[in-house]
Every structure is written in C-alpha cells, then in structure tokens.
C-alpha cells in the first residue's frame, strides 16, 4: 500500500508541476502577445510621454524640428489653443478639425474624442496643448486609455489560450491515465488471478516493483499452501484405501456367509454400501483437489459427444439400473457430429455424477434425459430428470456454496456436495459453464455449455 501511495503521490506531483509550467507558459505567452501593445501604450510614443515632451519643446511660435519629426513619425497631429479657444499653431491637423473652440468644446474633447480622433490635452503656460491620434487607435475611458488593437486582441487571446490550456490538460490527463493503467493493469490482473487461487509471476520495474514483489511472494506462499493441502488430501486418500478395502472385503464375506443370521447380513450389507460411499467420497475429494490446484493432467482429444453420450447410456442401463429409472437420449441433428476437445474420461465422470445425483434424490424413481444440442458457437449438454426437483433454498445453496459436506446419524447415510463441485470444475477446466435450474413442471436439470471448435461447420 505504501508503494501505491508513493506511486500516486508521484503522479499527482508531476501533474501539479505540469500545471505550474502551464501557468508560466501562459504568462510568457501573454508577455509575447502584448509586449508591443504595452511598449506603444506606455513607451516613448505613449500619449502621456508625448504630451510632456511636446509641451517642453513648444512655444507660442510653434514646436522644435525634432518634436515635429517625432510627431510625424508617430502619426500624431498637434495644436495649441489660447485661453479663448483660438488655435495658435498646428502640426498636421486634419482638414475637419476646427480652428476655434468654445469652453464647452474643450470640456467635451478633453476627456474623449474630437471628430472621432482620440485626443489628449496638456495645460501649458502658453495655452492648451492638444495631441490627436489616428482614428480607432485608442479607446478613451474616464481615467485611462486602451488601444483598440489591445481590446480586439484580448478576447481572441483569452479564447485561444484557454483552448490551448484545455488541450494540454487533456493530453496530460490522457497520457497520465494511460501510463497509470499500463503500469497497474498487470498488477490488477495478477491480483484477480491470485484471487482465483492460481499462481502468478510479475516482473515490473520502477515505482511498483515493491508491489509486484509482494504479489509474487503471496503467490509463492499460496502455491506452497495449495500444494501442501493437495498433497495432504492425496496422502490421506491413499492411506484410507487399504483399511477401506479391508472393511469392504470383510463386509462382503460376512454378507455372503450363509451360516450367520439375516440381521447380521443386513448390517454387513449396510457397512459395505457405506464403505463404497466413503470410497467414492474420497475419490471425489482427491479429484476435486487435483482439479482445483491444477494437479490433474487433462488429456484432451477431439471427442464426438453424441457417441460418448450413447455409450454411457448403454453402459448405465447394462450396469443393473433399477427398473424405477429410465434413461432417454436426445441428440439434435446439428449436434450429431459435434466434436469437443476434451478429456473423455472426465466428461463421462461429470455426466455420471449428475445422473447419480438424480438417482440419489429420487428413490421412488424418475425419468432421466440426456440431451445434446449445438449452435454456431456452443455445444450444450443437458442432464435432466422429472423427479422431486430442488427447493429454492437448495438451488441457491448449490449455486452459492457448491463445496459443502453434510452427514446424518441415521444409518451413516453420508451426503455431500463434492459431486456437483466436481462437475463444475471439470466443465470449467474445459472452458465451459454450468447452470442448475428447476424444470417448468417438476424435476431439475443441469446445463453444461462448451465452446465449439472453430474448425467445425
């Protein structure tokens, strides 16, 4: 977690530094854009400086040659008015500029414009100095002045800079997000894989190497624990076989002995049947453990499921199935030649577990249906019965907690959910899915879906 915090903090700091650089670039861009405006408005040829300079260089006879040249080069016209409003002299005044002004005229143009020319006034000892600039060169306010060019440029500048800022911020966000996802995605995938109980091995350099090391360490610990658990189950299963075989052997001898009473034979038969159930339970537990920890070698080959399903049904019927049960096989025409890349031994084991589940939960008898269907992308194998079905609680229990054990004291009738779990693991090992549901009338069905081979038509 500390490494993640450092990693996030580093990226946040980088993003903050980028914003600071962006602000500095904005200031620089503002300076570059408006430096000429600032220089013109507040430099040597600014109205304030020109008024002071021309006032110092003027008399009642006129202005100096240097001042006149500076006025001409800056495209500024000038005139001096006496206290009565009459023009004493003028430099390049436009033709529409009057020669005489009333006090009202002076009051009006001194704060604004004269014939749409922005003018600026300066009170001298000889009279009122008036400087006029080109039309549309300045906009005059009560206490300040701004060039028209600056006013026109400012909205464009703000809009442009905002657009550039948003673009850079988006690019920074986009590339930061992509980098973070690229660096953290392997870790997230590894955590998801690890949560499924599978080992992972990460090789990441940089800021997240510490996190990768912790995940690899957890994976190694989990792998050792899983291996130890699987080996323990395998060892216990192996150790149980010998005494269990002896119990089965003695129980069969007692049951076949004609010299003992029928009650003893009945008890010996119960011992034999329960021993067989224990044997099957141990086998299921061992196989579940091997599949869960991927220790069970899966030998896949292309198998024609219709043939496998019919062969299993024949073997089931010929194996002494009670007359209370019937088995029907339904193969859709499109599924007749469907091939599945699978371990046929495990697929038969899954089918048999589902069929035995139907038999176990319907002692009064039922009809068992084995169906095979096929679509463009999926092969569907269904095992159904018309028996008592499942309660909503039992159905939910099988979906949420497939690995459970339950036993009762009555005649040691062991019941367990390893069979369903084993079916689920076999299906998932072949890339398929399993769904248990009640049928519309009564009974229940289990639907196994497998991906169809791409080379099949």
CATH number at residue 393: 3.30.565.10
Which of 79, 109, 143 terminates a domain? The answer is 143
Please tell me the distance from the alpha carbon of residue 279 to that of residue 295, in angstroms, as a whole number: 20
Any residues with CB less than 8 A from the CB of 164 and at least 6 apart, and which? none
pLDDT at 404 over 60: no
Does 32 share its domain with 47? no
Structure tokens at 139: 């906009």
Q: Is residue 211 part of a domain?
A: no
Does 318 share its domain with 443? yes
Does 309 share its domain with 286? no
Residue 384, SS3?
Answer: strand
Lowest mean pLDDT among 108-112, 166-170, 249-253, 311-315: 249-253
Q: What is the pLDDT of residue 405?
A: 43
Please tell me the distance from the alpha carbon of residue 322 to that of residue 328, in angstroms, as a whole number: 15
| b/e code 429-442 from CB counts within 10 Å (16+ = b) | bbebebebeeeeee
Place of tokens 């996190």: 211
Does 394 share its domain with 313? yes
Handedness of CA 84, 87, 88, 91 (dihedral sign): positive
Q: Is residue 201 part of a domain?
A: no
Nearest to 203 by CA among 191, 219, 216, 185: 216
Residue 406, SS3?
Answer: strand
Q: What is the pLDDT of residue 417?
A: 59
Tell me the chain's radius of gyration from C-alpha atoms: 48
Residue 258, SS3?
Answer: coil
Q: Identify the burial level of 360 via C-beta atoms within 10 angstroms of its C-beta, where 0-12 means exposed, 13-18 middle and 19 or more buried.
A: exposed
Does 309 share its domain with 334? yes
Q: Is residue 209 part of a domain?
A: no
Residue 378, SS3?
Answer: strand
Cα–Cα–Cα angle for 74, 78, 79, nearest 5°?
175
Structure tokens at 412: 């040691």
Does 29 share its domain with 125? no
Any residues with CB less than 8 A from the CB of 403 and at least 6 apart, and which? 288, 417, 418, 421
Pairing of strands 87-91, 77-81: antiparallel
Please tell me the distance from the alpha carbon of residue 339 to that of residue 456, in angstroms, as a whole number: 8
Nearest to 136 by CA among 155, 119, 116: 116
Q: What is the pLDDT of residue 232?
A: 65
Are 85 and 105 in contact, with CB atoms under 8 Å apart? yes
pLDDT at 321 over 70: yes
Find residue 139's DSSP bridge partners.
Answer: 146
Structure tokens at 155: 């909205």
Which of 292, 318, 347 terminates a domain? The answer is 292
Q: What is the pLDDT of residue 326?
A: 92
Nearest to 89 by CA among 58, 57, 118: 58
Q: Is residue 193 part of a domain?
A: no
Q: Is residue 190 part of a domain?
A: no
Please tell me the distance from the alpha carbon of residue 250 to that of residue 254, in angstroms, as a whole number: 6
Other C-beta atoms lying within 10 Å of the C-beta of residue 448: 22
pLDDT at 19 over 60: yes
Q: Is residue 318 part of a domain?
A: yes
pLDDT at 46 over 70: yes
If one counts the domains in the chain, the total is 4
Does 407 share its domain with 344? yes
Does 7 share its domain with 122? no
Q: What is the pLDDT of residue 436?
A: 86
Residue range of the domain that includes 88: 43-143
Max avg pLDDT among 177-191, 239-253, 345-359, 385-399: 345-359
Q: List the beta strands (DSSP E) in 108-247.
A: 113-114, 117-123, 128-132, 138-140, 145-147
Are 216 and 202 in contact, with CB atoms under 8 Å apart? yes
Structure tokens at 65: 């040659």
Are 432 and 449 in contact, with CB atoms under 8 Å apart? yes
Structure tokens at 146: 């701004």
Q: Is residue 32 part of a domain?
A: yes
Place of tokens 């130890």: 228
Please tell me the distance from the alpha carbon of residue 94 to that of residue 79, in angstroms, as a whole number: 11
Residue 120, SS3?
Answer: strand
Q: Is residue 84 part of a domain?
A: yes
Does 321 share its domain with 443? yes
Q: What are phi and psi of 289, to 5 degrees?
A: -60, -45
Q: What is the pLDDT of residues 220-237, one digit of tens each?
A: 887 777 666 666 666 666
Does 238 share its domain with 336? no
What 8-state DSSP symbol labels residue 125? S
| b/e code 365-399 from CB counts within 10 Å (16+ = b) | ebbbbbbbbbeeeebbbbbbbbbebbeeeeeeebe
pLDDT at 88 over 60: yes
Which of 270, 292, 314 terminates a domain? The answer is 292
Does 25 share its domain with 49? no
Structure tokens at 58: 């003027």
Find residue 277's DSSP bridge partners.
Answer: none
Q: What is the pLDDT of residues 135-162, one digit of tens each?
A: 988 888 755 667 778 778 888 888 888 8
Q: What is the pLDDT of residues 165-179, one digit of tens each?
A: 888 888 887 888 787
Q: What is the pLDDT of residue 188?
A: 79
Does 279 share its domain with 239? yes
């Amino acid at each position: 977690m500390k490494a993640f915090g450092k990693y996030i903090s580093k990226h946040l700091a980088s993003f903050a530094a980028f914003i600071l650089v962006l602000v500095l670039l904005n200031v620089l861009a503002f300076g570059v854009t408006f430096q000429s405006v600032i220089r013109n408005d507040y430099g040597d040829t600014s109205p304030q400086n020109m008024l002071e300079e021309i006032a110092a260089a003027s008399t009642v006879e006129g202005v100096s040659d240097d001042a006149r040249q500076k006025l001409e080069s800056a495209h500024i016209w000038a005139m001096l008015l006496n206290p009565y409003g009459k023009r004493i002299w003028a430099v390049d005044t436009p033709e529409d500029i009057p020669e005489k002004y009333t006090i009202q005229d002076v009051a009006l143009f001194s704060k604004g414009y004269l014939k749409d020319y922005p003018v600026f006034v300066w009170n001298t000892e000889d009279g009122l100095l008036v400087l006029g600039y080109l039309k549309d060169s300045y906009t005059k306010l009560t206490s300040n002045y701004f060039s028209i060019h600056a006013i026109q440029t400012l909205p464009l500048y703000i809009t442009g800079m905002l657009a550039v800022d948003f673009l850079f911020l988006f690019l920074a966000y986009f590339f930061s997000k992509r980098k973070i996802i690229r660096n953290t995605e392997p870790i997230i995938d590894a955590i998801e894989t690890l949560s499924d109980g599978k080992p992972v091995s990460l090789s990441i350099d940089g800021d997240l190497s510490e996190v990768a090391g912790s995940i690899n360490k957890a994976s190694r610990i989990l792998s050792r624990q899983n291996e130890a658990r699987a080996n323990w189950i395998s060892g216990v299963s192996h150790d149980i076989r010998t005494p269990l075989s002896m119990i089965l052997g003695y129980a069969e001898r007692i049951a076949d002995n004609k010299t003992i009473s029928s009650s003893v034979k009945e008890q010996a038969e119960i011992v034999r049947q329960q021993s067989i159930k224990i044997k099957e339970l141990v086998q299921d537990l061992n196989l579940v453990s091997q599949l869960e920890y991927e220790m069970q070698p899966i030998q896949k080959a292309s198998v024609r499921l219709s043939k496998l399903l019919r062969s299993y049904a024949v073997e089931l019927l010929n194996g002494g199935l009670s007359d209370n049960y019937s088995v029907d096989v339904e193969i859709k025409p499109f599924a007749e030649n469907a091939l599945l890349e699978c371990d046929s031994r495990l697929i038969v084991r899954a089918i048999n577990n589902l069929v035995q589940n139907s038999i176990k939960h319907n002692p009064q008898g039922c009809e068992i249906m084995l169906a095979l269907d096929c679509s463009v992308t999926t092969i569907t194998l269904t095992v159904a019965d018309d028996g008592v079905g499942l309660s909503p609680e039992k159905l939910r229990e099988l979906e949420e907690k497939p690995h459970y054990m339950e036993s009762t004291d009555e005649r040691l009738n062991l019941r367990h959910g390893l069979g369903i779990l084993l079916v689920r693991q076999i299906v998932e090992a072949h890339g398929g899915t399993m769904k248990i549901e009640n049928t519309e009338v009564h009974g229940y069905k289990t639907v196994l879906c497998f991906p169809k081979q791409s080379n099949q038509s």
